[in-house]
C-alpha cells in the first residue's frame, strides 16, 4: 500500500492563479480531510468528506473547493490564489467508522507570490 | 464551534526528565483523542490515542490521561530523549455528527536538551 499520496510536493503560484492539489489513498478509507498548517496555528481543517459524493466545510473553507467522486481521490482546488493561502497542506484519511486517527500524506508546500 | 486548546506552546526539558502537554476540548460529545508527533519537515504521525471509555493508556514511555468531566486530556513522556524533540499535536474527534471530523490543538514544540 502506498498510503496517502499527495502531489505536487512543492508549488509556487502567482496571485489569482488557480490550481488543484491532488490526494489519493489506497486503503479504502471512507473519511478524508484537508488541513493547512501555518506556524503557531496548528493544523486547521479546510474540508472533509465521509464518503464518495459527500463533502462538508471545516474551520477555514473560504477560497477552497473540494469534490469526492471516488473513494480513493479527494482533490483540493484553489479558485484564485492569494498570499494568505501560502501554507503547507496535508491530506489525511481514516477508516469508515471514524474512531481511528487519520493517516497523513507527506504534504504540499504552497507559496503564493 | 468546536475548539481544542493546547498548552504549553513550547516546552524545554533536560534529557531524562518528564514532559507533560495538556489539552482541553469544548464539545462534550467528543469520544476519541489522538496525539500526533511531527518532526521537522515531515508529516504528523499518530503516537498514541485514547477513547472516552478509558481514563489512561500507556505505551512504553508515553501515556495519555483523560478527564471527561473536566474535558481535558494530557500527554506524558517519561525519561525523555533527544529524539523526542518534535512538535506534538493533540486532537479531538467531534462525535456529535458522526462525521470523523478531527480538530487539532495549536501544537507544542518540545525540545529535549542532551
Query: pLDDT by residue (tens digit) across B39-94?
Result: 999 999 999 999 888 889 999 999 999 999 999 999 999 999 999 999 999 999 87
Residues B1/B92, Cβ–Cβ less than 8 Å: no
CA–CA dist A19, A22 (Å, integer) = 10
Q: Which residue on chain B is closest to A48 by alpha carbon?
A: B101
Shortest CB distance from B89 goes to which of A43, A58, A106? Answer: A43
CB interface of B with A, residues 71-110, below 8 Å:
89, 91, 93, 95, 98-107
- The mean predicted confidence, pLDDT, of chain B is 92
Shortest CB distance from B32 goes to which of A35, A42, A99? Answer: A99
> How much is the pLDDT for B102?
87
> How much is the pLDDT for B1?
67
Per-residue confidence band for A101, with pLDDT thresholds at 50, 70 and 90: confident
CB interface of B with A, residues 47-66, below 8 Å:
49, 51
Q: Give B110→chain A minimum CA distance, Å.
A: 13
The per-residue pLDDT for range A78-97, each reduced to its tens digit, is 999 999 999 999 999 988 66
Residues A80/A62, Cβ–Cβ less than 8 Å: no
How far is Cα of residue B20 from the mean position of the Cα atoms in its chain? Answer: 9
| Chain A residues touching residue B59 (CB < 8 angstroms) | none
* Span between the terminal Cα atoms of chain A, in Å: 36
A31·B32 Cβ contact <8 A: no
CA–CA dist A100, B31 (Å, integer) = 11
Asked whether the predicted pLDDT for residue B111 surpasses 60, the reply is yes
Q: Of all residues in chain B, what percent carry a pLDDT higher than 90?
A: 78
Q: Which residue on chain A is closest to B35 by alpha carbon?
A: A101
Q: Which residue on chain A is closest to B96 by alpha carbon?
A: A98
The per-residue pLDDT for range A14-23, each reduced to its tens digit, is 999 999 999 9
A45·B101 Cβ contact <8 A: yes
Strand bridging mode A76-78 / A64-66: antiparallel
Residues A85/A31, Cβ–Cβ less than 8 Å: no
Per-residue confidence band for B5, with pLDDT thresholds at 50, 70 and 90: very high
B51·A48 Cβ contact <8 A: no
Asked whether the predicted pLDDT for residue B98 surpasses 60, the reply is no
> How much is the pLDDT for B43?
96
B21: nearest Cα among B82, B69, B68, B84: B84
CB atoms closer than 10 angstroms to residue A10 = 9
CA–CA dist A48, A27 (Å, integer) = 17
b (16+ CB within 10 A) / e for A47-64: bbbbebeebeebbbbeeb
Amino acid at each position: 500500500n502506498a498510503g496517502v499520496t499527495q502531489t505536487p510536493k512543492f508549488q509556487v503560484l502567482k496571485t489569482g492563479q488557480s490550481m488543484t492539489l491532488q490526494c489519493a489513498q489506497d486503503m479504502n478509507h471512507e473519511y478524508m480531510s484537508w488541513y493547512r498548517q501555518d506556524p503557531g496555528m496548528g493544523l486547521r481543517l479546510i474540508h472533509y468528506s465521509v464518503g464518495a459524493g459527500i463533502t462538508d466545510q471545516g474551520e477555514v473553507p473560504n477560497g477552497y473547493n473540494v469534490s469526492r467522486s471516488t473513494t480513493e481521490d479527494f482533490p483540493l482546488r484553489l479558485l484564485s490564489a492569494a498570499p494568505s493561502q501560502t501554507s503547507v497542506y496535508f491530506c489525511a484519511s481514516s477508516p469508515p467508522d471514524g474512531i481511528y486517527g487519520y493517516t497523513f500524506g507527506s504534504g504540499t508546500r504552497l507559496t503564493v507570490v | 464551534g468546536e475548539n481544542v486548546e493546547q498548552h504549553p506552546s513550547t516546552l524545554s526539558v533536560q534529557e531524562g526528565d518528564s514532559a507533560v502537554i495538556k489539552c482541553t476540548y469544548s464539545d462534550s460529545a467528543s469520544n476519541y483523542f489522538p496525539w500526533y508527533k511531527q518532526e521537522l519537515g515531515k508529516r504528523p504521525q499518530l503516537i498514541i490515542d485514547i477513547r472516552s471509555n478509558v481514563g489512561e493508556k500507556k505505551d512504553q514511555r508515553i501515556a495519555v490521561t483523560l478527564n471527561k468531566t473536566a474535558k481535558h486530556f494530557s500527554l506524558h513522556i517519561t525519561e525523555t530523549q533527544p529524539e523526542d524533540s518534535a512538535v506534538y499535536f493533540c486532537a479531538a474527534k467531534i462525535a456529535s455528527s458522526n462525521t470523523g471530523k478531527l480538530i487539532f490543538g495549536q501544537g507544542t514544540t518540545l525540545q529535549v536538551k542532551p
